[in-house]
Amino acid sequence: MTGRQLVVSVAAATLGVATAIAGVAGQTDVAVGAIGLLLAGLLILVVDVRRRQGELARRLKRTAERQLHANRRLDRLQTLPRHVEAATQRSLAALTDEFQVAAGRIEAAGEGTLSGIAQERLAAAERHLELTERVDKVIADILGVSSGVASVRDGVSDTTDSVADLRREVIASLDEASKANKRRQVTLREHIDKLGYEPVRQVQALLQLRDRVTARAPLPPTGGWAMEPTAILRLLHLVEQSRPALVVECGSGASTVWLAYALESIGQGQLVALEHDERYAEQTRRALDEHGLSHVAEVRTAPLSEIDLDGQTFTWYDPGAVQDLKDIELLLVDGPPRASGPRARYPAVPLLGPRLAPGARVVLDDVDRPEEQEAAEAWLAETPGLAREASGTDRSAVLVYRPA
C-alpha cells in the first residue's frame, strides 16, 4: 500500500468513527456529512487503485513488448537446427501469450485487490525465471551446435588434406605416364627407323649366306616363322669359329639345313634337331634328303609334355629325346613355339645345361620378345658359369658356358 492510500484509509477510518459518534449523539446532519466525506475518501482510494492498476498494466505490456522484441531477435538464429529453433519459438510464443493474458486479466479485474495484483506479479516473475532457464538451455544448444560445426570444420580440413594428397599422387602418376609414353614414342621411332634399313640388312646377309654355301637343291625360305638371314649368318660364323662336335637345335626348319651345310663345310660335327610336330619334322627330313645332308643332321620327333621345374609346370619337348646327348657345344633355342604355353623356351637350359660342354655357346632366338628376354635373364641368374657374349643380332642373343 502506498503512502497516499494509507492516508486516505486512515482518514476514512476516522470519518467512520466520527459518523458513528455523531449518530449516537443524535447529530444527524453531522453524521450525514461525515458519511459523504467517507464516501468521497473511498472514491479517491478506488480511483488511486485503478490508476495503480493501469500503471502496472502498462508496465506488463511493455514487458510483453520487450519479450516480443526478444522473440524477433531469436527468430534471426536461422542457422540453428530446426528442432532447437522450433522449441525456442514455441516457448517464446507461450510466454508472450501468458503475459498478454495476464495483462488482460489485470485490466478486466478493475477493482481487484492489491493482494491479487501481487500474486500476478509473483506468477509473472516465476514465468520470467522459467523463460530465463529456457533461454539458457537454448544458448547451451547453440554452443553444442557450434561445437558440432567446429568438428565438421576439422573434418572438412582433413578431407581437404586427403584431396591434396590424392591430387599430388594423380599428378605424379600422370607425369610417370607421360614419361612412359615418351619412352614408347622413342622406341616406336627407333623401330620405324629400323624398318627402313632392315630389309637391306637381311638381303645383304642372305647374299653372304649364298656365297658361303653351294646348295644342291632350292634353299628353304628365311624370315617370318623361320630364322632371319642375319641370325643364320651369325650361326654359321659360330660354327666356323668354334667347330662344334655336337649341335642341338630346339625346333627345326630352314636353320636346320643351313647348320647342316656349315657342319659339312668344316668336315666335322653332328646336328640333332628336336621337333614336336611330326608334319614339320618330316618336312625338314625331306629337305635334308634333297640337299644330301641326312648324314650330318638328324630330326627327332619329341612331342610336347609337361615338365616340372622347382615346383612349376612347363610344356617342353619330351626329355626322353635327349637322354643320349652329352657334351653339347652349340645349343640353338628356337622352339617350342610361344603358343605352346607361357615361358615356353625357358626349360631348355635347366634341362640341357648339365649336358653342355665347357665353352659351349647357347643361342636364343627372338630375344626382342619379353618372354625370351625373361628366359635369358633367368638362365644367367640360375646357371653358374653362364655369361652373355657381346656379339649377337637384334633378334638373337649368344651366351657362353664356362664352368669354374
User: Using an 8 Å Cβ cutoff, are 386 and 362 in contact?
Assistant: yes
Whole-number mean pLDDT of the chain? 81
Segment 311-334 mean pLDDT: 95
User: What pLDDT score was predicted for residue 245?
Assistant: 97
Q: What is the pLDDT of residue 167?
A: 81
More confidently predicted of 42 and 149:
42
C-alpha cell at 54: 493501469
Strands (E) located in 144-241: none
Which residues lie closer than 8 Å to 75 by C-beta, 6 or more apart?
Answer: 89
Strand order, beta sheet including 297-301: 297-301, 270-275, 246-250, 328-333, 356-365, 396-401, 386-392
Q: What is residue 33's predicted lDDT score, i.e. its pLDDT?
A: 74
- Residue-level pLDDT at 361: 96
Mean pLDDT of 137-157: 69
pLDDT reported for residue 86? 67
Q: Write out pLDDT tens, residues 251-270.
A: 999 999 999 999 999 999 99
With a cut of 60, say whether residue 190 has pLDDT above it: no
Q: What is the pLDDT of residue 192?
A: 58
On whether the CB atoms of residues 401 and 386 are closer than 8 A, the answer is yes
**Total Cβ atoms within 10 A of residue 298:** 14
* Across 1-5, 221-225, 261-265, 365-369, least confident range: 1-5
Amino acid at 242: S
Which range among 79-88, 177-186, 224-233, 322-331 shows the weakest confidence by mean pLDDT?
79-88
Per cent of the chain over pLDDT 90 is: 39
Is residue 237 within 8 A of residue 392, CB to CB? The reply is no
Q: What are 300's three cell numbers? A: 627327332
Helix (H/G/I), strand (E/B), else coil: 399: strand
Q: What is the mean pLDDT of residues 21-47?
A: 73
> What's the rounded Cα separation, in Å, for the pair 49 and 62?
20
pTM: 0.54
Look at residue 149 in the predicted model and tell me its pLDDT: 56
Q: Please report which confidence band the pLDDT of residue 383 belongs to, taking 50, 70 and 90 as the band edges.
A: very high
Distance between CA atoms of 372 and 394, rounded to whole angstroms?
Answer: 13
> For residue 351, what are the contacts with CB-CB under 8 A and spacing of at least 6?
307, 309, 316, 319, 322
- What is the CA 81 to chain-centroid distance, rounded? 34
Q: Which of 15, 34, 12 is nearest to 1 (CA)?
A: 12
Answer with the residue of higher pLDDT: 377 or 180: 377
Q: Would you say residue 4 has pLDDT above 90?
A: no
Whether 297 shows a pLDDT value over 70: the answer reads yes
DSSP three-state, residue 332: strand
Instruction: Give the confidence band of 344 by pLDDT, cuts at 50, 70, 90.
Output: very high
pLDDT tens-digit series, residues 80-129: 556 646 665 676 677 567 657 655 665 665 555 546 655 766 776 677 77
Task: Give me the long-range contacts of 311-315 (CB less than 8 A, separation at least 24).
Answer: 314/341, 314/343, 314/344, 314/346, 314/347, 315/340, 315/341, 315/344
Cell 667347330 sits on residue: 243
How deeply is 378 buried, as exposed, middle or buried, from its count of CB atoms within 10 A (0-12, 13-18, 19+)? middle
